[in-house]
Structure 1
Amino acid sequence: MSKPPEGKNTSGRGARDLRVKVKTAKGRKLSSTLWLERQLNDPYVVRAKRDGFRGRAAYKIMELDDRYGFLKPGARVVDLGCAPGGWCQVAVPRVNSLGENLKKPQGYVLGVDLQEVEPIPGAEIHQLDFLEDGADDQVKAWLGGRADVVMSDMAAAASGHKGTDHLRIIALIEAALAFAYDVLDDGGTFVAKVLAGGAENQMQAELKRNFTKVANVKPPSSRKDSSEKFVIAMGFRGRNREENPDGE
């Protein structure tokens, strides 16, 4: 189970003295300097380097799975927007995609991202713009069957306007959800990052119609000043509904 990073001098003057301060360099904007300083002082960033994860986001999916248990041995997982690969790194041992535990079923992890991602043992990684025409069909071909989990950490480039950024990420989630409806097996799980902003209400209602359980969570590793949260939709029932429209 993922636990919050531990350490001494976490409050008071001692903690302030231990903070890394970044000087504003020529050509670097103040916002960039503040971001870099926050990264260097983020305990989850430090912990990710220590634990061998490619980013602090690994702890977000770890904490979500610790709570809801959707990354089970034998599960077939699709990770949309997988760069730099932290979610795949967490999924590989949990679904046993390397087959290292001979007593448990072997899973499968497929990662897709617009950016190039360094190989991850136990995961099949492809570079692809998921919003391109025909991209979902290509991912389905790589998948070669049903999925038990579809995860999306896709995010659009920030515009600096919260409303615009929120609408952009909702569009990405809708694309990921449409794909999930096509590939999820009965009882499957959909996990996606969203930004609080109100436009997700319609999506929430749709999820509740197609999944038995829907929760909105802000894991401990998510920065407190961030508007991000995660939607967890479990128990996909859409396929049964398609095959038995009258509920028979």
Structure 2
Amino acid sequence: MGSQWGYDKTYMRAKQEGYRSRAAYKLLEIQNKFAIIRPDDNVVDLGAAPGSWLQVERTLTDGRVLGIDLNPIADLDGVETIAGDLNDPDILAEVKSLLDVVSVVVCDAAPKLSGHKTYDQARIIELNEQALMFACRVLKQGGNFAVKSFQGTDFPELYAMTKEHFYSVKTMMTRSTRKGSTELYIVAKNFNG
């Protein structure tokens, strides 16, 4: 477990509490505020490596938890994983065959940043849109979706696109996000099919 931002208090707390990364606390904050995962929900986690969100999800539901990432995810009790690209039709088919019903899709993924703000923003929004489209293909009516994004010129369009598919769409900045970051989460509830 590592942190590209160094060993701050949140990182050290995650390590002490057995989480694979500080990101676990971000999902806990989202859950505490919006209750997006219910006790019997099946959850699909996109961009799930190294697995800290999967660790949290496993404690929130007795349903099935499935993590998808380009990179293999180290085993976790009670969690299924797929190594692959969320845009691959075979991955989508595999998810549909594994889970009869998907109640929640979450995505804490971000592409590797180049340092060129405009280019990075476009890549992040593209990944967010791909996660949204994946969610729209697998979610049950009334399902929930949460995705990490970053504020910027393209963000309002993504937010509006999400509102077309969900009855309730909010944004949230978590306390666990490093200072100075433009990171925020879109939390969308009640998928309208």
Question: Counterpart of 2:67?
Answer: 111
| Paired position in structure 2 for 1:229 | 184
Unmatched 5+ residue regions in structure 2? none
Corresponding letter in the other structure for 1:204: Y
Separation (CA, whole Å) in 2 of partners of 1:235 and 1:141: 23
Aligned partner of residue 19 in structure 2, secondary structure: coil
Counterpart for residue 39 of structure 1: 6
The CA deviation string for residues 171-230 of structure 1, in whole angstroms up to 9 with x for no partner, is 111111111111111211110000111202222112222211111110110112111110
Alignment counterpart, residue 199 of structure 1, candidates 146, 154, 157: 154
Q: Does 1:70 align with 2:17?
A: no
Q: For residue 126 of structure 1, report the CA deviation from its aligned partner.
A: 1.6
Q: Does 1:92 align with 2:58?
A: yes
Q: Which amino acid aligns with 1:201?
A: P
1:75-112 deviation digits (Å, cap 9, x = unpaired): 0100000000000000001102xxxxxxxxxx110001
Distance across 2 between alignment mates of 1:165 and 1:136: 26
Name the SS for the 2:164 alignment partner. Answer: helix
Choose 1 or 2 for highest CA Rg. 1
How many pairs were matched up? 191
| Alpha-carbon RMSD | 1.5
Is this contact kept in 1: 2:41–2:104, CA < 8 A?
Answer: yes
Give the structure 2 partner of residue 81 of structure 1: 47
SS in 2 for 1:216: strand
Please point out which of 56, 73, 93 is paired with 2:22. 56
Q: Distance in 1 between matches of 2:87 and 2:74?
A: 21
Runs (4+) of structure 1 exceeding 2 A deviation are: 129-143
Identity of aligned residues (%): 38
2:77 equivalent among 100, 115, 121: 121
TM-superposed CA distance for 1:133, in Å, is 5.2
Give the structure 2 partner of residue 217 of structure 1.
Answer: 172
Q: Deviations over 1:107-163 (max 9, x none)?
A: 1100011111111111101211223454323333333x2211000112111111111
TM-score, normalisation: structure 1: 0.73
Which of 166, 172, 179 is equivalent to 2:134? Answer: 179
Structure (1/2) with the larger strand percentage: 2
